[in-house]
Chain A
Amino acid sequence: MSNTPEDLKYTKEHEWVRDNGDGTLTVGITDHAQDALGDLVYIEMPEVGRQVDAAEACAVVESVKAASDIYSPVGGEVTEVNVALGDAPETINDDPYDAGWMFKLRMSDASQLDGLLDAAGYEALVAEEE
């Protein structure tokens, strides 16, 4: 059973979202997602300063068997990316919710958070997909 922390929000595309409380969000992929993808070998990050819409493809995670788009959970501006993943993409496999974070966003509209899933909702989604 994969790990799904209670204090995070989730998307149907298997990203997690942490509300940093200052108008910014941290985004990564879930434990379930990293497990399904297998060993990650490359992460393509968005550029800092890029404006993204909700559900816009803005990053790519590549494993030995697939390359998948990562969608922005909400609209906003990319403020920071986890450059450490460039040399160590496997960090996402080892620690998806902490050291394996991918990018930070400044939300254009905080109400967009309401549309995301909570931990129970995400677990139900995963159970349904399986």
Chain B
Amino acid sequence: MLAAIGIERIDDLFDEIPPGLKASDLPGIPPALSEMDVGRLMQQRSRQDGQPLCFIGAGAYDHHIPAAVWQIVTRGEFYSAYTPYQAEASQGTLQVLYEFQSMMTALTGLDVSNASLYDGASALAEAVLMAVRANRKCKSRRVLVPRALHPVYRRTLHTIVHQQGIELVEIPFDGRGGHTALEQIEAFGDGAFAALIINQPNFFGILEEVGALTDWAHQRNALVIGVVNPVALALLSPPGDWGKTGADIACGEAQPLGMPLASGGPYAGFLCCKQALMRQLPGRIAGRTLDLDGKPGFTLTLQAREQHIRRSKATSNICTNQGLLVTAATIHMALLGAEGLERVAAACHANTVKLSDMLCELSGVEPLFDRPVFHESALRLPVPTADLLRALAAHNLLGGYNLGPSYPELDPALLVCATEMRTEADSTTYAENLSRVVVARTQVRCPLKPRV
């Protein structure tokens, strides 16, 4: 190969890069492993996860995935090591992306969707960059971020946007309701701001008053970014319908649509917007068109703003998408249908409410907030959360997400979730074990020594 292209060493190909810019060693990166060794390592790691009964949500959810989903996704036509975008060779892939976009616009009630981004948190960062770029009524680079937004999303957002002169202003949540209260955000409406982020449901599972919040932001010339759970959208009003004119941008994590938890990834992010913001929407967009013979076909569209054409002035420097996972999401949604997705959402809500009621029968366990939830519930505990979770793990139970480290003001507190996968018997098992652990840790020792 080297002889064919007329060079002696592979390093000659990289001559153009100044030596000072080349990374020499990569400390911490171990030497390459063979396929067999990698296989063994992965087996070991996955055994460490075990197969616990899962009551933890907090951004990634244990949903049923019909067997057909990954059977189809792993067909050779879809299962490619690289994103095949040549229209003449990839009509199937492009059509799947187009269908995914159509489904996402239907779920979010917005006009346009891209073909996905890396994950929910980075999709939010793109949404914020997009809003600051696109808001022509307001030159401010401040963005209001609710404290009741996922702590990891807030950290990712900060990492991606803080070097770009964007100021993130944290707005508190209501101590009783757990929601982002209109009375409290009034204080932040004095100065101009480019966008308000609304998380529905928020990190505590609480339903926000999205209509009032949307109108409040629009009255102040700010754009509204909805961070939404796609399963919840089967029941809740879509961002495009929030308030008088609807949210401007919606984004979120597509993992609940056919992607296994898989120890944290890979997942996919989605990003949708109103037509007026279409030119600011980063990433790949598949479109339907007609070929020379007038037959319908699919192709990438609106590429002129991407980095391979616009270089440093591109709308984003992350122009890729999660093709394979989007294929899974599309097939998953197609198999469930609108009604199936609605039933999943309703079952998640019912199971979580039932679980929360069951757990709150224990003395000292009570709901942290008094507002309605979707499929997660924040509970106050009578014992330290980490101890409790460790004790439950010994019984093969993943008891929930410890809220203390991110929200010290709530400690000791736990966020629990019961999806459609958790049966009543599962919840009873959890309640019994929780009861045993709590009793063992709170019972007062008998003051009189028994006589022997």
Contact assessment for B313 and A66 in the assembled complex, using a CB-CB cutoff below 8 Å: no
Closest to B306 in A: A67
Q: How far, in whole Å, are A69 and B313 apart by their CA atoms in the complex?
A: 10
Residue B305, interface by CB 8 Å: yes
Closest 4 CB pairs of A and B: A67-B304, A62-B304, A67-B310, A67-B305
- For B309, give its contact among A41, A67, A69 (CB under 8 Å): A67
**CB of A27 to closest CB in B, whole Å:** 20
Closest to B136 in A: A47
Q: Beta-carbon contacts of A64-91 to B below 8 Å, as 1s and 0s? A: 1111010000000000000000000000
Residue B371, interface by CB 8 Å: no
Q: How far, in whole Å, are A65 and B136 apart by their CA atoms in the complex?
A: 26
Q: How far, in whole Å, are A62 and B301 apart by their CA atoms in the complex?
A: 12
Residue B279, interface by CB 8 Å: yes
Closest to A41 in B: B304
Please provide the chain A residues from 47 to 66 with a CB less than 8 Å away from any CB of chain B in the complex.
Answer: 47, 62-66
Residue A123, interface by CB 8 Å: no
Chain B interface main SS type: helix
Give the A-B pair count, Cβ closer than 8 A. 20
Range of interface residues on A (Cβ < 8 Å): 10 to 19
Contact assessment for A62 and B136 in the assembled complex, using a CB-CB cutoff below 8 Å: no
List B contacts of A69 (CB < 8 A).
Answer: 313
Q: How far, in whole Å, are A87 and B428 apart by their CA atoms in the complex?
A: 62
Query: Which residues in A have some Cβ–Cβ distance to B below 8 Å?
Result: 41-42, 44, 47, 62-67, 69
Contact assessment for B309 and A65 in the assembled complex, using a CB-CB cutoff below 8 Å: yes
Contact assessment for B279 and A42 in the assembled complex, using a CB-CB cutoff below 8 Å: yes
Please provide the chain B residues from 301 to 350 with a CB less than 8 Å away from any CB of chain A in the complex.
Answer: 304-305, 309-310, 313
Closest to B310 in A: A67
Q: A42-B279, A44-B279 are in contact. Are A62 and B313 (CB under 8 A)?
A: no
Q: How far, in whole Å, are A47 and B309 apart by their CA atoms in the complex?
A: 25
Q: How far, in whole Å, are A73 and B121 apart by their CA atoms in the complex?
A: 41
- For A63, give its contact among B279, B304, B310, B313 (CB under 8 Å): B304
List A contacts of B305 (CB < 8 A).
Answer: 62, 67
Contact assessment for A66 and B136 in the assembled complex, using a CB-CB cutoff below 8 Å: no
List A contacts of B310 (CB < 8 A).
Answer: 66-67
Q: How far, in whole Å, are A63 and B303 apart by their CA atoms in the complex?
A: 10
Q: How far, in whole Å, are A104 and B310 apart by their CA atoms in the complex?
A: 26
With A42-B279, A66-B310, A67-B310 already in contact, 13 other A-B pairs whose C-beta atoms are closer than 8 Å: A41-B304, A44-B279, A62-B279, A62-B304, A62-B305, A63-B304, A65-B304, A65-B309, A66-B309, A67-B304, A67-B305, A67-B309, A67-B313
**CB of B213 to closest CB in A, whole Å:** 28
Q: How far, in whole Å, are A41 and B313 apart by their CA atoms in the complex?
A: 18
Closest to A62 in B: B304
Q: How far, in whole Å, are A105 and B279 apart by their CA atoms in the complex?
A: 25
Supply 20 A–B pairs (Cβ within 8 Å), ascending by A. Answer: A41-B304, A42-B279, A44-B279, A47-B136, A62-B279, A62-B304, A62-B305, A63-B304, A64-B304, A65-B304, A65-B309, A66-B304, A66-B309, A66-B310, A67-B304, A67-B305, A67-B309, A67-B310, A67-B313, A69-B313
Q: How far, in whole Å, are A91 and B58 apart by their CA atoms in the complex?
A: 52
Q: How far, in whole Å, are A66 and B310 apart by their CA atoms in the complex?
A: 7
List A contacts of B136 (CB < 8 A).
Answer: 47
**CB of A119 to closest CB in B, whole Å:** 30
List A contacts of B313 (CB < 8 A).
Answer: 67, 69
**CB of B436 to closest CB in A, whole Å:** 64
Q: How far, in whole Å, are A66 and B306 apart by their CA atoms in the complex?
A: 9
List B contacts of A44 (CB < 8 A).
Answer: 279
**CB of A13 to closest CB in B, whole Å:** 15
Q: How far, in whole Å, are A65 and B306 apart by their CA atoms in the complex?
A: 11
